[in-house]
Amino acid sequence: MLAARRTDRLAALAAEIERSGRRALPIACDVTVDGDLERAVGAARTAFGGIDVAVANAGFGVVGPVERLKLDDYHRQFETNVFGVLRAIHATLPELKARRGRLAIIGSVSGHLATPGSSPYAMSKFAVRALAEALGHEVARDGVSVTLVSPGFVESEIRQVDNAGMLRAEAPEPIPGWIVVSADRAARSIVRGIARRRREVVVTPLGKVAVFFQRHAPWLVSAAIRRFGVRSRGEPARP
């Protein structure tokens, strides 16, 4: 089952999957709307008989200095990145418990360390990391695994989305290409982690290095951020 807001993208992906001999069910769904995920899960149950794996992937990034951001910016960020994940969990968990399934929650390396100008996004991903850890303990005896996926810089449109959640397709990629991992490579890493029921998968070499040093030498990471003026990406320009 493919659930997202952009039905044109869903239809194209479903067609690609079906050409390979697999089944795909595209469903228009917004994780910020109560009831949408329950409706989607019901459709998946009817079509496939149940759910073995659920991936909570919806998210975007609000960026900017704390003093310039408004409370509404933080509310908007959490509505998708945190409460959207909770809605996905509540909708799919009964199915996953019944089938001893797997849940993957897409977090971020920003859920381990925060850079200047990234407080809304980092806060949401720190929250998601805590949610995945707590939930993993709660459902372990039910045979359900929870895998937190913490990507670094992966090929996607997230860096072309502004603080209002609008895609700015004309915005240039702000991250050097040599540190951006392809979507295919990231997907393979994620699938392996889910299949092996791993507690966490950190995607991208740079992401693994960042998480390692944040865990074992946080003082060094902090010093490097301040010494070299490391900052979050800027918001894509609005017309």
Q: What is the pLDDT of residue 19?
A: 97
Residue 238: pLDDT band (50, 70, 90) is: low
Q: Would you say 106 and 57 are in contact if contact means Cβ atoms under 8 Å apart?
A: yes
Model confidence at 237: pLDDT above 90: no
Cβ contacts of 127 within 8 Å, gap of 6 or more: 78, 81, 82
- The token duo for 148 is 């937190």
Per-residue pLDDT tens for 136-185?
A: 999 999 999 999 999 999 999 999 999 999 999 999 999 999 999 999 99
Q: What is the pLDDT of residue 219?
A: 97
Over residues 89-109, the mean pLDDT reads 98
Furthest-apart CA atoms within the chain: distance in Å? 56
Residue type at 39 in one-letter notation: R
Torsion, CA 217, CA 127, CA 125, CA 3, rounded to 10: 150
DSSP letter string, 164-206 = TS-B-TTSPP-S-GGGPBPHHHHHHHHHHHHHTT-SEEEESHH
Q: Could you tell me which of 238, 103, 219 has the C-alpha nearest to residue 161?
A: 238
Is 74 among the catalytic positions? Answer: no
Residue type at 114 in one-letter notation: A
Q: Is 70 helix (H, G, I), strand (E, B) or coil?
A: coil
From residue 141, give the alpha-carbon distance in Å to each of 20, 93, 97, 99, 146.
Answer: 36, 13, 10, 13, 12
Residue 49: pLDDT band (50, 70, 90) is: very high
Q: What is the pLDDT of residue 59?
A: 95
- The token duo for 181 is 């991992």
Segments making up each domain of the chain, as ranges: 31-227
Residue type at 211 in one-letter notation: V
What distance in Å separates the CA atoms of residue 53 and residue 55, rounded to the nearest whole number? 7
Catalytic residue among 121, 136, 150, 204: 121
Give the CATH H-level superfamily of domain 31-227.
Answer: NAD(P)-binding Rossmann-like Domain (3.40.50.720)
What distance in Å separates the CA atoms of residue 56 and residue 72, rounded to the nearest whole number? 23
What distance in Å separates the CA atoms of residue 11 and residue 9, rounded to the nearest whole number? 6
- The token duo for 129 is 């990391």
